[in-house]
Chain A
Amino acid sequence: ETGVTQTPRHLVMGMTNKKSLKCEQHLGHNAMYWYKQSAKKPLELMFVYNFKEQTENNSVPSRFSPECPNSSHLFLHLHTLQPEDSALYLCASSPGTSGYEQYFGPGTRLTVT
């Protein structure tokens, strides 16, 4: 039990669909993150939220829209995705955003058809 849960674990969607990924952390952390892991590539940071405020957007296309209603929940809203967006999407949390190890969820395996 990592303390960070993600749903769904697998998602197949068409390019015209709208879907959302959900992340919840039970660790009392203040910071939450979205990462993308594509095949043969390192984990890429997408978004950072600290105390519900977005502090980082790593040039992510607008078809990915994050939402952080509170420090325990993080969403990634998806719309009009491309096949190259197929990847493992990982959520993580940490006590703060400074020099703390991050705790990851199991990820959502997304396939865009």
Chain B
Amino acid sequence: DQQVKQNSPSLSVQEGRISILNCDYTNSMFDYFLWYKKYPAEGPTFLISISSIKDKNEDGRFTVFLNKSAKHLSLHIVPSQPGDSAVYFCAASAGAGSYQLTFGKGTKLSVIP
């Protein structure tokens, strides 16, 4: 059973608009969440993270929101740029001392010029 779910395999957004990528999780022990971006023929690259003690973390054009009661997080990219076109993975970790990241299947974002 998947503990981290990204229900949208793909998303298309116009350049300059907002991209919203969603992620749901089922394990209540998860307390640290990360987003990774992956271009073809490259490994995933860390993008942004959030601890469960926060509900928002912002880094430039990227903002991650965490709703613990709904077990849901989202990544907002504003404004979207063609270079943001990639596969985005949501990952979660459970507790201090935990090295195991549980990944979602990813969402392919296409930003249309």
Q: Interface on A for B, CB 8 Å cutoff?
A: 2, 4, 6, 31, 33, 40-43, 45, 48, 50, 55-56, 90, 92, 94, 97-99, 101-107
Contacts and interface: CB of A to CB of B under 8 A. Distances in A.
Contacts of B100: 45, 48, 56
Contacts, number: 61
Given A56-B99, A98-B97, A43 B89 contact: yes
21 contacts: A2-B43, A4-B43, A31-B99, A41-B105, A42-B104, A43-B44, A43-B103, A48-B99, A56-B99, A92-B43, A97-B97, A97-B98, A98-B96, A98-B97, A99-B93, A101-B34, A101-B46, A101-B49, A104-B43, A105-B43, A107-B42
Interface residues of B, number: 26
A4 B98 CA distance: 22
Interface of B: 2, 4, 32, 34, 36, 41-46, 49, 51, 89, 93, 96-106
A69 B96 CA distance: 27
Given A106-B41, A106-B42, 5 more contacts: A2-B43, A2-B45, A48-B99, A99-B98, A104-B44
